[in-house]
Amino acid sequence: MRLLLGFVFVLSWVFSAMAQMPHEVLVIANQSSAGSLEVANAFMERRGIPADNLVRLAIPESVYGGRATCDLDTFEELIWIPVKKEIVSRRLEDQILAWVYSTDFPIRIMTDASDRRQVSICGQTFMKNRRVEGVLIEEGKYHSPIFAGPNERLRLLFPSCSLGVLKSGLGSRVGEDDTVERLRSGLGGRMPLPSMMLGYTGSGGSSLDSVLAVLERGQQADYQGRRAGLYFVTNSNVRSTCRDWQFASTKERLVERRVEVVVTNEFPVGASSIMGLLCGAEQVSPTEMGSFAPGAVAEHLTSWGAEFQRPQTKCTAWLDAGATATCGSVVEPYANANKFLSARFFEHYTAGCSVLESFYQSVASPLQQLFLGDPLARPYAPPVRVSLLGVNRLSEEPFRFRAMAATQLRGVSWRYTFLLNGRVVEAASEISSYQVNPVDLADGFHTLQCVAWVDHSVRFYGLDTKVFVVNRVGRALSISSDIKQLGAGVHGVQVVVDGADVPKRVQLISGAEVLDEGRYDSELLLRFQESWLGDGVCRLQVVGVYADGMEVASEPLVLTVFNSFNE
């Protein structure tokens, strides 16, 4: 522990922290919006999110249109309760650490009669739908339990951590000092629920193409973080002075990591490959800054950055100009630095944390912020290559699948998490293998995924998925390649039964959601609508339910849907 700037303590130990991983993210799409479905599908495909981690809700335009504002009862009825029910029914409650909203959701939740006391959808989700006293919201005195400092209340610089370690704690590795109790014991059930929105396409926001381009840049950014191109821009306006005290000390710590930072009173007009920019200004022109590198994060602390019916430059202008993530306030925050992004964002980011993890460790009172962009972008994490080795078919005998992991880092210790059919079955194991016993499984198609990560202050990870078929009692299903056109955007598929035993009922599913079902008949057509799936890559399976209760799944049929709402 050492003193910095006369009042800020830096905490440092050798400890482990788990980085945010795809299976820990729940994606929420608006079934009523073609754009929302397309954006969600693109994010799921690019980031390898398990299919069961997608929840579709029917949100009417009256809720997400105009000012994109709803009251707390509407948020609870249309979003919070339905999503929580799906998480429980899918047995994901111990797995999900963050929510990711697609486009076309409300961005502002009315929690008080005073406009100054409203919260963003990210803020209400963060609080797990609990109310916060209005004055704490307005004055920025609600203090996030995962804020890593510093401010006037927390004079410590907590090390960069993952969501998982903040929940579970680090144990004795951090010592007995009472000031670090939250790191030692973890927050457990008091852990908040961070969230982001992939984009805002409402009035005054981004186009659909711009949001999709952000996701493309986010994926391109992985492992490509530049050691230059960070700018902290100052001026005499209170929007700048409320935060610019952070810049010099943050620059010092980043320079120690060989990351170049420019603190200046001029915007980097014409610069190339900007990686990050913080400033405080009512009006900015992101398109005049030059070019942004994939993974770039920019923000211009101002009153109405995410209040799209008010004047001032909107936070989405950074995304439209080439940034990968940004944030802005949904109400007037009154230049309260606790409500905005700390310069330490770039310390967490360059430590290998994801965008989402870096955001939430950098804002002391995040309840009025709308966080936009690719939450899983991680430019500064080193690549990890994982191969999961094993057979393609199982019958009676158990089989042990083995993982191999490699990285450019030397002398690392590995941990392994295994997911069977999208559910965690082995977490944080030191053993690089997992035994599957076919006696415990139904016949048909299955997946085993291994996430291997480095046991380090931020666990850099990679993953691989092995598909296999169980044939224990001779039951198998498939989808006929002859897809029938039944109408505009409506199709039918037939179930092909391979084996003497036939199911009693069959279902057509996408992820965890049933699209159609019926009593099995060789002529039965199971229907689906393109508009329900949305544009992009989609996967369909048929499931046969047999007399003894066994549910046999087929290999997925991979489809790419175009112009689904124009049929």
- Are 331 and 307 spatial neighbours (Cβ–Cβ below 8 Å)? yes
Is there a cis peptide before residue 194, judged by omega within 30 degrees of 0? no
CA distance 137 to 145: 15
Of 32-36, 75-79, 161-165, 556-560, which gets the smallest average pLDDT?
A: 161-165
**Domains 384-470 and 476-566 alike in fold:** yes
Counted residue by residue, the chain has a size of 567
210 pLDDT exceeds 90? yes
What pLDDT is attached to residue 7? Answer: 35
Q: Return the pLDDT at 375.
A: 98
Indicate if the pLDDT at residue 2 is higher than 60: no
Other Cβ atoms closer than 10 A to 485:
9
The SS3 call for residue 261 is strand
The structure's pTM equals 0.94
The pLDDT value given to residue 21: 87
Instruction: Tell me the pLDDT band of 311, cut-offs 50, 70 and 90.
Output: confident
**pLDDT at residue 400 greater than cutoff 70:** yes
**Vertex 370, ends 369 and 375: CA angle to 5°?**
115
Place of tokens 């005499």: 236
The alpha carbon of residue 387 and the mean position of all alpha carbons in its chain are separated, in whole angstroms, by 24
Q: What one-letter code names the amino acid at 46?
A: R
| Interval 363-376 mean pLDDT | 98
Q: Which amino acid makes up residue 463?
A: L
DSSP 370-406: EEEE-TT--TTSPPEEEEEE--SEESSS-EEEEEEEE
pLDDT tens figures, 164-199 = 878 877 666 666 665 677 777 777 889 999 999 999
**Tell me, which fold does domain 476-566 have in CATH?**
Immunoglobulin-like (2.60.40)
Of 218, 368, 341, nearest to 277 by C-alpha is 341
Percent of the chain with pLDDT over 70: 94
pLDDT average, residue stretch 515-532: 95
- Report d(CA 455, CA 405) in Å as an integer: 13
Provide the percentage of residues in the chain whose pLDDT is more than 90. Answer: 82
Q: What is the pLDDT of residue 407?
A: 93
pLDDT at position 188, please?
85
CATH of 384-470, one of 2.40.10.10, 2.40.30.10, 2.60.40.10, 4.10.91.20: 2.60.40.10
Q: What is the mean pLDDT of residues 519-539?
A: 95
230 vs 276: CA distance, rounded Å: 5
Q: How far apart are CA 484 and CA 89, in angstroms?
A: 32
Per the DSSP assignment, residues forming a β-bridge with 423 are: 420
Which residues touch 411 (CB under 8 Å, ≥6 apart)? none
Closest CA to 279 of 322, 319, 350, 328: 328
Q: Is the peptide bond prior to 150 cis by the omega test (within 30 degrees of 0)?
A: yes
Domain assignments of the chain as residue spans, ordered by start: 2-373, 384-470, 476-566
Cα 132 to Cα 366: distance, rounded to the nearest angstrom: 12
Q: Which residues pair with 160 in a beta bridge?
A: none
pLDDT tens digits for 452-466?
988 776 778 999 999
DSSP class per residue in 24-92: GEEEEEETT-HHHHHHHHHHHHHHT--GGGEEEE---HHHHSTT-EEEHHHHIIIIIHHHHHHHHHTT-
Cα–Cα distance for residue pair 340/553, rounded to 1 Å: 48
Q: With contact defined as beta carbons under 8 Å apart, do 43 and 70 qualify?
A: no
User: Residue 92 CB: number of other CB atoms within 10 A?
Assistant: 21
pLDDT at 352 over 70: yes
> Which structure tokens are listed for 323?
């940034």
Q: What is the pLDDT of residue 566?
A: 57
Mean pLDDT of 207-220: 98
pLDDT digit string, tens, across residues 246-297:
999 999 999 999 999 999 999 999 999 999 999 999 899 999 998 999 999 9
**Average pLDDT of 62-84?**
97
Integer Cα distance of 307 and 329 in angstroms = 7
pLDDT-derived band at 18 (thresholds 50, 70, 90) equals: very low
User: Exposed e or buried b for every residue in 275-299, given b needs 16+ CB within 10 A?
Assistant: bbbbbbbeebebeebbebbbbbbbb
Query: What digits encode the pLDDT tens for the residues 157-173?
Result: 888 888 887 887 766 66
What is the structure's pLDDT at 201?
A: 98
* pLDDT at residue 208 is higher than 90: yes
Q: How far apart are CA 10 and CA 118, in angstroms?
A: 34
Average pLDDT over the chain, rounded to whole?
Answer: 92
What pLDDT does residue 445 have? 98
DSSP tag of 174: G
Task: Read off the pLDDT of residues 438-496 as tens digits, 9 standing for 90 and up.
Answer: 999 999 999 999 999 887 767 789 999 999 999 999 999 999 989 999 999 999 999 99
